[in-house]
Amino acid sequence: AQPITILGLESSCDDTAAAVVRRGVYGRAEVLSNVVVGQNDLHKAFGGVVPEIAARAHAEKIDLCVEKALVEAGVALAEMNAIAVTAGPGLIGGVMSGVMCAKGLAAATGQPLIGVNHLAGHALTPRLTDGLSYPYLMLLVSGGHCQFLIARGPNDFSRIGGTIDDAPGEAFDKTARLLGLAQPGGPAVQTEAEQGDPKRFKFPRPMLDRAGCDMSFSGLKTAVLRARNDVMTDDTIKHQDVRDLCAGFQAAVVDVLVEKTRRALAIYLEENPTEPALAVAGGVAANTAIRAGLESVSSAFNVRFTAPPLALCTDNAAMIAYAGLELFEAGRRDGMDLSARPRWPL
């Protein structure tokens, strides 16, 4: 047996990233480097990610990220077993920047390419960080995604429910905007919520009356808007009102996620997994109230709960390199015809 070393590239949204992951002859994979260059400053003035600006920035920065990842890992490009790259889903200009760079590296070294689904990267991260065994239940919650997956292998996921409109991160960001808080809204709303009364405003718990694991978060921001308008006078809002609105909003999100997780766990446990586990990933997994809720519902079901460290929860290339490693071990090899896909359901 030989160690396997994979270079991973990620550029599907607004982070340009490169990382090296290695599995030694024995045991767990290890992150040798994990370089992320964000673009927040470039998009700040526009109130959201501008695809054309993002694509240009990825094309400009990705070579440097690769170089830095190799130096930090202390491994030469020639020692890679494969080049893994996010091939979708995402903003197509950015995905193409990454795929083109990976093709260049593969052509120069003769190494195989492995196209990785960005969502699979997130979903496989708890195997890298906590060594979860298949099958496990995954809740992916970010600014763009919200879904329950049963992970059975690096290329084998079942989606058992998800949002039918906004993702929770989007709802946090929009709520923050309504209340004049900083972006990204999640951390700001959480901070305010910690000083607020979650019971003062009665926000809806959308879709709890419907069977299954589907969710909806777009109605919540409308409810927050109405409640805000009711308490505002002369275009100003008291700080305590902001805190109470944030607390009420966050409590509604937690209730929905926890109840839907309870149902998802029941479905997952029908498979009789030998080491049952629930993992959460995505930027919203940083929320302490959401984590606490998921932790308690997991322990009620006697299911292990894990959440990757934040740097591996948000967009990064270590997760792409790791997914590439599992796919490589499973025999996946892509060629120069690998295409960038804006949409790519798991």
Q: Which positions touch ligand KG4 (CB under 6 A)?
A: 13, 142-144, 169, 172-173, 184-187, 190, 282-284, 286-287, 314-315
CB atoms within 10 A of CB 255: 15
Part in contact with Zn ion (CB under 5 A); list of ranges 75-83, 209-217, 270-278, 314-322 = 314-322
Residue 287 assigned ligand-binding role: yes
Does 315 bind Zn ion (CB under 5 A)? Our answer is yes
186 binds, among Zn ion, ligand KG4, none (CB under 5 to 8 A by kind): ligand KG4
The least CB distance from residue 89 to Zn ion, in Å, is 10
Beta partners for residue 220, in sequence order:
none
Beta partners for residue 159, in sequence order:
149
The least CB distance from residue 110 to ligand KG4, in Å, is 33
Q: In whole angstroms, what is the distance from residue 270 CA to residue 107 CA? A: 46
Q: In whole angstroms, what is the distance from residue 117 CA to residue 111 CA? A: 19
324 binds, among Zn ion, ligand KG4, none (CB under 5 to 8 A by kind): none
User: Rounded to the nearest 5 degrees, what angle is found at the Cα of 111, between the Cα atoms of 106 and 113?
Assistant: 65
Closest CA to 142 of 21, 322, 305, 310: 310
Residue 24 assigned ligand-binding role: no
Beta partners for residue 30, in sequence order:
22
Identity of the residue, 106 or 181, whose beta carbon is nearer to ligand KG4 in the bound complex: 181
Identity of the residue, 13 or 242, whose beta carbon is nearer to Zn ion in the bound complex: 13
157 binds, among Zn ion, ligand KG4, none (CB under 5 to 8 A by kind): none
Residue 8 assigned ligand-binding role: no
Residue type, 55: A
The least CB distance from residue 94 to Zn ion, in Å, is 12
Q: In whole angstroms, what is the distance from residue 167 CA to residue 6 CA? A: 31
Residue 47 assigned ligand-binding role: no
Using Cβ positions, the residue closest to Zn ion within the complex turns out to be: 315
Q: In whole angstroms, what is the distance from residue 259 CA to residue 239 CA? A: 30
Q: In whole angstroms, what is the distance from residue 206 CA to residue 256 CA? A: 7
Q: In whole angstroms, what is the distance from residue 188 CA to residue 165 CA? A: 23
244 binds, among Zn ion, ligand KG4, none (CB under 5 to 8 A by kind): none
Residue 186 assigned ligand-binding role: yes
Residue 140 assigned ligand-binding role: yes
Binding-site positions for substrate read 140-144, 173, 186, 287
Residues forming the site for Zn ion (CB under 5 A): 315
